[in-house]
Amino acid sequence: MEKDAKIYISGHSGMVGSAIMRKLTAEGYTNLLTATHQELDLTRQNEVEAFFENERPDYVFLSAAKVGGIMANNTHPASFFYDNIMIAANIIHSAKQYETKKLLFLGSSCIYPRFAEQPIKEEALLTGELEPTNEGYALAKIAGLKMCEYYNRQYKTNFISVMPCNIYGPNDNYDLNHSHVLPALIRRFHEAKENMQPSVTIWGSGKQYREFLYVDDLADACLYLMNHYSDNQFVNIGMGEDQTIAELAETIKEIVGYEGEIIYDTTKPDGMHRKVVDTTKLNATNWHYKTPLKEGIRLTYQDFLKGNYREQ
């Protein structure tokens, strides 16, 4: 991308979008285009088309999304499906209509079948049933990446898709009813420490495996791929390593400095037993993550203590 090219970052105020903004600014890109939800409702086709007609972005990072953890996804599947499929359809179509040079669509590793062979290769897509607790969100993300693929085939666009593992870091959402597991645990251990609570209860058995990538590493990978990758096959982004939720909880407990007990509520769902992405394709491009999990959690907690987070 040219340093002075007009680059639109959708969802720029979210965790991923703000990390992409930081990375682009640090690398000397000077013409960054953003719009708040009040200025532009991405679920409204007429608003998105008018925005693209007026602004004509050269490049687009499609990082806007409605996101949440198991509770939020399981409780509001229609909202997660509608918002995400409309955001993707409106931006991708407008990018084609107004001749955007290149677009990067951010999906999620939850697109994969619940019983996919681990680590999960890109080829596992659509080979089995999805995890029921986040099916609505996953279907919307699958539609987005397929839309990129189909537009490339039919219209010769240059739209690429990436599938990150679980992302965490500065500017995360810490709402206990809507957040993902890592920020939720940071907040719960912190509040338990502050309130001298004897225990913290965690949903599920703690035996499920998850992979986490620091958000600034994701932003680095997205910029790298935007500049060096053009193909109809989407790319996994992750560490290629995972740990159990119980191991994650113990790490966060240590970093926060909480000394109470951890209780696992096995009446609550675990979600997929294991979810770690195969990063062979990404590593072949010469990109590798930089931030070890423990260091990333420490940086995230420091940011949390400064009050740099959102509540949905």
In a domain, 152, yes or no: yes
Which pLDDT belongs to residue 264? 97
Which pLDDT belongs to residue 261? 98
The string of DSSP letters for 229-276 reads ---SS-EEES-S--EEHHHHHHHHHHHHT--SEEEEETTS---SSEE-
Which pLDDT belongs to residue 145? 97
Q: What percent of the chain has pLDDT over 90?
A: 86
In a domain, 312, yes or no: no
Q: Is the pLDDT of residue 272 over 90?
A: no
Q: Mean of the pLDDT values across residues 10-21?
A: 96
Report the CATH number at residue 65. 3.40.50.720
Which pLDDT belongs to residue 311? 66
In a domain, 310, yes or no: no
Which pLDDT belongs to residue 96? 98
So which residues are the catalytic ones?
137
User: Which residues contribute to the annotated binding site for NADP(+)?
Assistant: 11-17, 106-109, 141, 164-167, 180
How big is the CA angle at 98 (ends 108 and 83), to the nearest 5 degrees?
35
What are 102's two structure tokens? 């290149």
Closest CA to 5 of 102, 96, 148, 105: 102
- Beta strand pairing call for 199-203 and 235-237: unpaired
- CB atoms < 10 A from the CB of 56, how many? 13
User: For residues 111 and 170, is the Cβ–Cβ distance under 8 A?
Assistant: no
Which pLDDT belongs to residue 168? 96
Q: What percent of the chain has pLDDT over 70?
A: 98
Tens of pLDDT, residue by residue over 27-84, are 999 999 999 999 999 999 999 999 999 999 999 999 999 987 777 788 889 999 999 9
Which pLDDT belongs to residue 310? 63
Tens of pLDDT, residue by residue over 194-220, are 999 999 999 899 999 999 999 999 999
Query: For residue 155, what are the domain limits?
Result: 7-305
In a domain, 30, yes or no: yes
CA 206 to chain CA centroid, nearest Å = 22
- CB atoms < 10 A from the CB of 30, how many? 12
Count the domains in the chain.
1
User: Which residues contribute to the annotated binding site for substrate?
Assistant: 188, 203, 210, 270
Q: Is the pLDDT of residue 312 over 80?
A: no
In a domain, 179, yes or no: yes
* Residue 270 burial by Cβ neighbours in a 10 Å radius (0-12, 13-18, 19+): middle
In a domain, 264, yes or no: yes
Tens of pLDDT, residue by residue over 72-128, are 788 889 999 999 999 999 999 999 999 999 999 999 999 999 999 999 999 999 999
Which pLDDT belongs to residue 20? 98
User: For residues 166 and 210, is the Cβ–Cβ distance under 8 A?
Assistant: yes
User: Which residues contribute to the annotated binding site?
Assistant: 11-17, 106-109, 141, 164-167, 180, 188, 203, 210, 270
In a domain, 201, yes or no: yes
In a domain, 311, yes or no: no
